[in-house]
Structure 1
Amino acid sequence: MATPQLIRGTSLPGAILLGLGAIVGTGAYVSIAMATSITGSGVLIAILIAALVAACNGLSSAQLAAVHPVSGGTYEYGYKFLNHWFGFSAGWLFVAAKSASAATAALALSLYVLPALGLAHGWQVPLALLTIAIMTLLVLAGVRRSNQANAVIVTVAIGALLVFVFTTFSAYEPTLVAAPTNAGSAHDILAAAALIFVAYTGYGRIATMGEEITSPKRNIPLAIIATVLVTTALYLLLGWALQYTNLQQQGVNESELALVALASNDTVATVVLVGAAVALLGVMLNLILGVSRVILAMGRRGDLPAVFGGLNVGQTSAPAATWLTAVVMMALALSGSVELAWSFSAFTVLVYYGITNLAALQIPAQQRFVPRAISVLGLISCLALTLFIEWRVLAAGGLLILAGLVWHRWRLHLVANK
């Protein structure tokens, strides 16, 4: 009997909207400001570098999704096209990377709402933990992001960003536009590009929909390229606008990475606050769903204890996998640093997409529609950008990978000796 397949009901515009919904959030409302604080006007170059890397990786993901259209992303691709070590590592890294992104979203949301609530900065972590817990309960209750809800989230998030951008331009004399800040060193630009790359990786949501998108070999690559182009245009506008805010002053505080603090007036600040809240909560909901499903798959395969591969009685949710997801996200949020959490996400997601490109290179020539050179460039650029991540994050990420491989080896040993 043939395996049941999902209905191909998502068109090219729908796929683009899904990609934008997965991207516009933490990246737009946090990482561009973070990268600007590192490299000034060089952020515009960093955005273009990150976009190129994202396009290569996205096309490799599209190639894999068209040939092997299953849920699970590179976790499944690693097992299929490489070996169990790469497959496990991809799943392990995905959980870490996306949990760090969710922790960043929760901490960033706190930065946005604390002033509005009249709370001191010391409430940032407790509020982030509370937000993760509430979103986890919503997922367990069966809440999902429908296509209609996704369209609303994208519209509100992008609309608020455009209001910020154009009011920022109008708040300054035109002569200032001709005098951007120093672009910083090449090292600074590449470090910023590594952070910005994470702000693109929502395109993976498109690549994992091989069963649902009409004409996937045509529409998945087109949707990924269109999503990257639209996102790049939005990020360039935002990066340009940030050149003329107080973010360019020396001694920037992390709280100033929230665009509310950089808004030109109270009305704009309110609009940005609403946009950020909608976008960041949407990102968290999406990430809790995505990470819990990978943990579910790892539990079913035996890469994690079997309890995490179980469903509830009604087969509508995976409680154990979802709660483990929440615990990992909360642990990362305890760092209390948006920059540290986002940098950790950057390292782990770059290694994850390195495995994606490596898997894509194993696809036979007769099944390829993406040139091998694209995957080669994606692999090299991912590995190169990891070198510009802060050393303590590199060390922590390396230890995480080592711990995962030790765990995987021990699990294999237990299975072999049963």
Structure 2
Amino acid sequence: MNTTPPSADAGELRRHLGLFDAVVIGLGSMIGAGVFAALAPAAAAAGSGLLPGLALAAVVAYCNATSSARLAARYPRSGGTYVYGRERLGEFWGYLAGWGFVVGKTASCAAMALTAGSYLWPEQAHAVAVAVVVALTAVNYAGVQKAAWLTRVIVAVVLAVLAAVVTACLTGSAAEAGHLAVGADAGFHGVLRAAGLLFFAFAGYARIATLGEEVREPRRTIPRAISLALGITLVVYAAVALAVLAVLGPDRLAHSAAPLAEAVRAAGAPSLVPVVRAGAAVASLGSLLALILGVSRTTLAMARDRHLPHPLAAVHPRFGVPHRAELLVGAVVAVLAATTDVRGAIGFSSFGVLAYYAVANASAWTLTPGEGRPPLAVPVVGAAGCLALALALPASSVLWGAVVLAVGAAVYGLRRVTAARR
């Protein structure tokens, strides 16, 4: 294999990542701040229906992951569903998926940074969030290998903290099996809304696909990495949700600002509270690191096709990263982290990402058996699930998400009209 670094003019990225690093990057995206932040609003939406909501989110995530894996194996290029939609459905659908991903995940980056700031120094959460964004942008700028190495450390720390939470909750005397029973308070719409909110925490497997140009043997590595990362995450999330819900119950969980910390305190292990807070901060850093990677790579792909300013397609001649795209993403996230709050970004981000995966499933449906098409039920259930969960989100999230997609479509149409006149 030729490993000679490409020139900046070639605009190509280097294939540094193997299966282990790809799985770790996926885990760093999924097993992050979502598990610390999404359980409370999901419990507020569904009460005791939190667990069915988690199961429904897992089914949709599995369908999306399978469709994404098959598409990534055929189109191992940076950009993820932006590339798949463009190749399988037409330029507009690829553009709309990329637009929703970049905008939604940029908001998610700000939420992750603010979560880290809230746990590290609550009184100065915004200032800490901005500092964190600057630091992690610098790490990504130095090369994807360094980012993957840091993600390994973060994932190991977060998994250890979550294991301690589950152990403390399930071995203490505060856990009650009755808290896990689904009661009359869990309506169908509430379960759907909880699933949509919890999907926010599952969506990191897209990060593996958006790194398609930086993975060795992508047609073999990407599908395996996505399946492994999602499977591990499902097991971890199920264990944490069961443990925390058993201790706190749905009502107390719904009103908790820091549910995992409150759960270990209620379970009789107050000494673990600082550890959980530190773990939440580290998890936020891992999510943010991987998110910046994914958003910058989709920005790179869209800039190559001139859907975004073409200078953003530049690749650094030494570090082999889309440095201009990374700097722009970092700057926008820093501004958002200085001016927004955490909870409002979760629903908005979920809407954009669900729209993104709806396009991915529609793209996978067009594959032929010879191209590696999954069973037809997978993209059908995945697309229908994405649309159902998106529309079940809080009204403000649906409204602003629809506005963002409409603005993106208008920009695309204006650009096409202008190009036609020229």
TM band (smaller chain): 0.7 to 0.9
User: Helix, strand or coil for the counterpart of 2:274?
Assistant: helix
- The range that moved more, 142-151 or 200-209, is 142-151
What are the superposed Cα offsets for residues 13-46 of structure 1, whole Å, 9 maximum, x if unpaired? 5544343222110222211333234323322111
Q: Relative to 1, partners in 2 of residues 1:141 and 1:62: Cα closer, same or farther, differing over 3 Å?
A: closer
Report matched runs for 1:80-119 at 5 Å: 80-114=87-121, 119=122
Q: Counterpart in 2 of 1:374?
A: 378
Distance 1:196 1:16, change over 3 A: same
Q: CA deviation at 1:145?
A: 4.3
Aligned partner of 1:385 in structure 2 is: 389
How has the CA–CA distance of structure 1 residues 67 and 379 changed in structure 2, closer, same or farther, with 3 Å as cutoff? same
Contact (CA 8 Å) 1:299, 1:308: kept in 2 or not?
Answer: yes
Match of 1:395 in 2: 399
Contact 1:40 1:243 in 2 (8 A): no
Whether the 8 Å CA contact 1:299–1:306 is kept in 2: the answer is yes
Distance 1:144 1:267, change over 3 A: farther
Deviation at 1:304, TM superposition (A): 1.4
Distance 1:163 1:46 in 2: 24
**Which residue in 2 is equivalent to 1:234?**
236
| Residues 315 and 163 of structure 1: CA distance in aligned 2, closer, same or farther (over 3 Å) | closer
Partner of 1:337, secondary structure, is: coil
Conservation of the 8 A alpha-carbon contact between 1:335 and 1:341: no
- 347-356 vs 102-111, which deviates more? 102-111
Counterpart-to-counterpart distance in 1, 2:182 and 2:116: 30
Distance 1:297 1:391, change over 3 A: same
Which segments of 5 or more consecutive residues in structure 1 lack a partner in the other structure?
none
SS in 2 for 1:242: helix
Instruction: Describe the shift of the 1:144–1:270 C-alpha distance in structure 2 as closer, same or farther (beyond 3 A).
Output: farther
Q: Is the 8 A contact 2:256 2:262 kept in 1?
A: no
2:6 is matched with none
Deviations 1:125-171 (A, max 9, x none): 33323322332234335475455433322221111011012112233
Structure 2 contact 25–151 (Cα < 8 Å) conserved: yes
1:142-291 counterparts in 2 under 5 A? 142=143, 144-173=145-174, 176-180=176-180, 183=183, 184-208=186-210, 212=215, 214=217, 216-217=219-220, 220-246=222-248, 248-249=250-251, 255-257=257-259, 259-264=260-265, 265-291=269-295
Deviation, structure 1 residue 210: 5.4
Q: Which residue of 1 aligns with 2:137?
A: 136
Distance (Å, rounded) in 1 between the aligned partners of 2:117 and 2:281: 9
Shift of 1:213: 5.1
- SS of 2:257 mapped into structure 1: helix
% identity of equivalent residues: 32
Judged with a 3 Å threshold, the aligned counterparts in structure 2 of structure 1 residues 152 and 334 are, in CA distance, closer, same or farther, namely closer
CA distance in 1, matches of 2:326, 2:149: 24
CA distance in 2, matches of 1:313, 1:367: 34
Q: 1:358 aligns with which of 347, 359, 362?
A: 362
- Aligned residue in 1 for 2:68: 61
CA 1:101 to 1:319, structure 2 compared with 1: closer, same or farther past 3 Å? Answer: same
AA partner of residue 343 (structure 1):
G
Letter in 2 for 1:139: N
Secondary structure at 2:38 match in 1? helix
1:304 is paired with a residue whose SS is coil
Change (3 A) 1:311 1:20: closer
Aligned length: 407
Deviation for aligned residue 1:235: 1.1
TM-score normalised according to structure 1 size: 0.87
Distance 1:398 1:82 in 2: 20
- TM-score scaled by length of structure 2: 0.86
Which of 25, 45, 52 is residue 59 of structure 2 equivalent to?
52
CA-CA distance at 1:276 after TM superposition: 2.0
Q: How far, CA to CA, are the matches of 2:374 and 2:324 in structure 1?
A: 38
**Aligned AA for 1:86?**
W
Matched, 1:417 2:416: no
Q: Secondary structure at the match of 1:165?
A: helix
CA distance in 1, matches of 2:263, 2:170: 12
Q: 1:216 to 1:311 in 2, by over 3 A?
A: closer
**Alignment-mate amino acid for residue 177 of structure 1:** A
- Aligned-pair CA distance for 1:249: 4.2
Aligned 8 A contact 1:58 1:207 in 2: no
Separation in 2, partners of 1:112, 1:249:
23
TM-fit CA distance, 1:10: 2.4
Structure 1 residue 357: deviation in Å?
A: 0.8
Closer, same or farther in 2 for the Cα pair 1:74/1:252, shift >3 Å?
closer
* 1:252 CA displacement: 5.4
Moved more, 302-311 or 378-387: 302-311
